[in-house]
Each structure stands twice: as C-alpha cells, then as structure tokens.
Amino acid sequence: MGQALCCLQVDQSTVAIKENLGKFDDVLEPGCHCLPWILGSQVAGYLSLRLQQLDVRCETKTKDNVFVTVVASIQYRVLAGKASDAFYKLSNTKEQIQSYVFDVIRASVPKLILDDVFEQKNDIAKAVEQELEKAMSTYGYEIVQTLIVDIEPDERVKKAMNEINAGNC
C-alpha cells in the first residue's frame, strides 16, 4: 500500500477509501490507481476484506444462580460493495460486535439452568448470529459464523460438581 507522486497501489484483499477535498469519492479496488493529490484527492484509509475473528468473553448468571463465563467466537468481514458504510458509519467494529453479543447472551442464558446452557449452546450461538447479522449489515459487515466455544461455570461450582461425581463412582 504505497503512494508515490500520483500512483497508488492497493493490495489484494484490501480496498482503499478515496476522498476528494475531504468528501467521499470512491472505493478503490486492489491494483494500481492514479490519485491526483494536487487536485485534492487523497486516501482516507484502507479496509481489509479478509475474514476476521473476535472472541468475546461474557460473564452471566443462569436460572439456577450459577455464574458462567460464555466465550463466543464471531467471524465477520467487510462487504466489498458496502465498504464506504463500513469505513464511515462505524468507528469501533469490535466494541459494537461485543455489545450485541453481551446483550444476546445476557438475555438468553439467565432463562436456562446450567445443564441446559451446555445442551443449547447452538441455539444461543444462532440467536447471537441472527442479532449480529441484522445489526451489522447496516454498517457494511457480514457475519459469517458464530460459535459458542466455551462455557465455564464458576470454579467453586466446578469443584462441587466434580466432588459429587467422584462420590457417585
């Protein structure tokens, strides 16, 4: 991604946001471009079109009053056709995604007992994905996959469950 004189190279899997006199002008695709900076053209920034992943840790309480930490893994990417929306409408993508994940998990998990949280992790992941897809598409992002990768009860609860299981053997 270099700029010398009026020539600009945009790397593969990246787009550049071109502005003219401070106003959005165009989305530059990968390749070589002429950018007459003397006439007020400049690159405002670059966006990666690659798949990105964000792991979100969320602590919440189940219906049977057990605190659990749920880890959700969100895979997302910028939609090439909506790159200007992704660049201008949202300043911190990761925090926005994290907020939606917290909201859905903290609304879903407290309705379930601990055993059901483990059994219904795919349903929780689907609820998170649907909410994220609906919200983030307006900002130019696609949610590719949402997974609940870990559900970890409070350490004391794990210890108590292990003691109960050891006593039953």
Reply yes or no on whether the pLDDT at 4 is more than 80: no
Note the pLDDT tens digit of each residue in 63-109.
999 999 999 999 999 999 999 999 999 999 999 999 999 999 999 99
pTM: 0.85
Among the listed residues 48, 94, 54, 86, the one whose alpha carbon sits nearest the alpha carbon of residue 73:
54
Q: What are 34's two structure tokens?
A: 């002429």
Provide, rounded to the nearest whole percent, the portion of the chain with pLDDT above 70: 93
Reply yes or no on whether the pLDDT at 167 is more than 80: no
Look-up of token digits 């059901």:
116
Contact status, residue 49 vs residue 78, Cβ threshold 8 Å:
yes
Reply yes or no on whether the pLDDT at 161 is more than 90: no
As a whole number of angstroms, the distance between CA 161 and CA 148 comes to 22
Pick the CATH number of 52-168 from 1.10.10.10, 3.40.50.720, 3.30.479.30, 3.40.50.300: 3.30.479.30
Confidence of residue 162 (pLDDT cuts 50, 70, 90): low
Domain ranges of the chain: 3-48, 52-168
Mean residue pLDDT of the chain comes to 91
